């Protein structure tokens, strides 16, 4: 949600990327501007690629219309107190890399989602994390829908992240299907079948599966089949 940091140097240069990491790791959260300090309720540090970065934890009162907000204006990394502690690091990494390493690049927000997921909680918490982030981007899209404060390009960026998260969640739902929903095949066997054979199995099983377990992955939208058939 933050205003973007200005791009400095050649973002394709590995040296420049790591120089940026070193530079931003030295930003002190104690020097935050007055408008930010007013809402500061805590601070923390995260590690990323061998560097440690400070961030501010802000009261939810800073922006009540957008629960779980995060930002990186003028190099001041912050996050809402409402964000679960285990979720802070991946979300902050997303915000940081989007406006430094990927600054000025097309599809930077979606690429930052991919980067953050390497640091997301594992196991059962992973699916909950995906849902949390999808909900956040859904709110962010609505927050900026009629706003002139950001560009159409920025709106397209956050829309791209939302669509990616939806697809990832849909993929998890497909992976959770029992073998009988996949013509008796395991997921691995199913994915190794010819695309047309997969389509036949899904078509054959769909009517009975929907009666037994009306999963969104089987009933809601066609893009999910594209994931299954890729």
Give the tens place of pLDDT for each residue, 70-90: 999 888 899 999 999 999 999
Please, are residues 21 and 86 in contact by the beta-carbon 8 Å criterion? Answer: no
What's the predicted TM-score (pTM) here? 0.68
204: part of which helix (H) or strand (E)? Answer: helix 195-212
For residue 230, the number of C-alpha atoms closer than 13 Å in the C-beta half-sphere is 9
Q: What is the pLDDT along the chain (230 residues), one digit of tens a residue?
A: 544 332 233 333 433 444 455 544 455 555 678 888 899 999 999 999 888 899 999 999 999 999 999 999 888 899 999 999 999 999 999 999 999 999 999 999 999 999 999 999 988 899 999 999 999 999 999 999 999 999 999 999 999 999 999 988 888 776 665 555 556 666 556 656 665 676 666 556 544 433 433 333 333 333 333 333 33
The answer to whether the Cα torsion of 208, 212, 217, 221 is positive or negative is: positive
48: part of which helix (H) or strand (E)? Answer: strand 40-48
| Residue that the structure tokens 């930077």 belong to | 108
pLDDT over 90, % of the chain: 47
Q: Rounded to an integer, what distance in angstroms lies between the CA atom of residue 95 and that of residue 149?
A: 18
Backbone angles phi, psi at 216, to 5 degrees: -60, -35
E strand intervals along 81-170: none
Rg, Å, the chain Cα set: 21
CA distances, 97 to each of 64, 71, 117 (Å): 25, 12, 13
| Residue that the structure tokens 């918490």 belong to | 125
Q: Rounded to an integer, what distance in angstroms lies between the CA atom of residue 198 and that of residue 183?
A: 9
Would you kindly state where each structural domain of the chain is located, as residue ranges? 14-173, 179-228
Q: Rounded to an integer, what distance in angstroms lies between the CA atom of residue 86 and that of residue 89?
A: 7
- The two tokens of residue 12 are 């394709």
Other CB atoms closer than 10 Å to residue 209's CB: what's the count?
Answer: 20
Nearest to 67 by CA among 154, 142, 172: 142
Please, are residues 102 and 112 in contact by the beta-carbon 8 Å criterion? Answer: yes
pLDDT at residue 214, as a whole number:
37
């Amino acid at each position: 949600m933050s205003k973007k940091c200005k791009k400095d140097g050649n973002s394709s240069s590995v040296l420049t990327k790591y120089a940026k990491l070193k530079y931003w790791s030295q930003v002190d959260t104690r020097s935050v501007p007055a408008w930010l300090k007013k809402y500061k309720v805590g601070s923390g540090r995260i590690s990323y690629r061998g560097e440690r970065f400070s961030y501010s934890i802000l009261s939810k009162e800073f922006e009540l219309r957008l629960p779980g907000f995060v930002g990186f204006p003028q190099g001041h990394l912050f996050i809402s107190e409402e964000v679960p502690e285990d979720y802070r690091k991946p979300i902050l990494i997303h915000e940081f890399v989007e406006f430094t390493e990927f600054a000025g690049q097309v599809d930077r927000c979606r690429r930052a989602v991919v980067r953050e997921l390497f640091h997301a909680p594992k196991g059962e918490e992973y699916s909950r994390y995906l849902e949390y982030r999808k909900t956040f981007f859904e709110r962010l899209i609505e927050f900026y829908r009629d706003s002139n404060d950001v560009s159409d390009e920025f709106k397209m960026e956050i829309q791209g992240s939302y669509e990616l998260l939806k697809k990832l969640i849909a993929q998890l739902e497909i992976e959770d299907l029992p073998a009988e929903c996949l013509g008796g095949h395991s997921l691995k066997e199913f994915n190794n079948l010819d695309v047309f054979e997969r389509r036949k199995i899904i078509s054959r099983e769909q009517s009975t599966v929907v009666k037994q377990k009306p999963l969104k992955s089987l009933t809601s939208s066609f893009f999910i089949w594209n994931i299954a058939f890729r």
